[in-house]
Amino acid sequence: MGFGNGIMRIGRVELRVLDLEKSASYYKNVIGLEEVGRSQGRVYLKAWDEYDHHSLILKQADYAGLEHFAFKVKNEAVLNELEKKIEQFGCDTSRISYGTRMAEGQAVRFVLPTGHNVELYYEIERIGTKTGTLNPHPWPLDTRGIAPHRLDHVLLTGDDLKTVTRFFMEVLGFQQSEKITTVDGEELVGSFLFTTNKAHDLAFIKGPDSKLHHVAFYVESVHDVFRAADILTMNNVPTEVTPTRHGITRGQTVYFFDPSGNRNEAFASGYITYEDFPTITWTEDKIGQGIFYHRRELVESFGKALT
């Protein structure tokens, strides 16, 4: 659970896609998610190790990108309390009513200083996993594709990283695991934030407001990252960066693109954070090494391919 803030984890991402059928096929067969339902131009999916009804919603749209992402909170009292704090900070909020989307209860929606839509919710149908909770096997035999354990994090771009970082830390009680600054330390160009024991639950890098950089799915080991890269090549999926290590978070990674151009990541390992975790600083002159530890330089598309 979050550090006394009642926020448990990142719970879902809704992505805009250009071709719903093609995208659903990709997320089911290449990523290896399970389709759990459909409603009004949307497909709902979950990873095999997730208990709630869905963690990814694909929405038919004219342009790609992030429709919203959401954090699951403990209960209604937490939802109401955080809603007040968000309003006091000056963010626009609204209520999403019951049944707006499949298997979901009510939610509080608000707009970040970077222009992204975020929701907080506590009600969602729990459908469990194929392995169950009684004497379970470690994984189900019928997995497909990359078969990640769960949705892990999102990385977004925005202009005012100082304000959005302050919002998550002061209002929602997140902590900053890592930051990227200009060499003089004056400007913030990257901010990695957590509310669980993960290296990051979401992150921001300097760029245009309201844009998605990537959605990451968690796999267990560097072997699974390599296997993911093999699956991408077998399926002719555009791969941006072949398996490598991050300096930031220490995770192992491969980046690639869904049929609409939304960037995905298969992310493994990474360190564990605690409430007393100190913020690690990277300076902009070492950003290449921070992001791609082995090649020590960014690929051009990494900062430009946004949806």
The catalytic site residues sit at 153, 200, 214, 246, 255, 265
Residue 60 pairs with which residues in a beta bridge? 17
CA dihedral 234, 240, 246, 247 (to 10 degrees): 150
Longest CA–CA separation in the chain, Å: 55
From the CA atom positions of the chain, what is the Rg in Å? Answer: 18
Strand 202-206 to strand 150-158: parallel, antiparallel, or no bridges (unpaired)?
Answer: parallel
Q: Which helix (H) or strand (E) holds 229?
A: helix 222-234
Give 120: exposed, middle or buried? Use CB within 10 Å, 0-12, 13-18, 19+.
buried
Is 122 within 8 Å of 75 (Cβ atoms)?
A: yes
Q: How far apart are CA 192 and CA 200, in angstroms?
A: 6
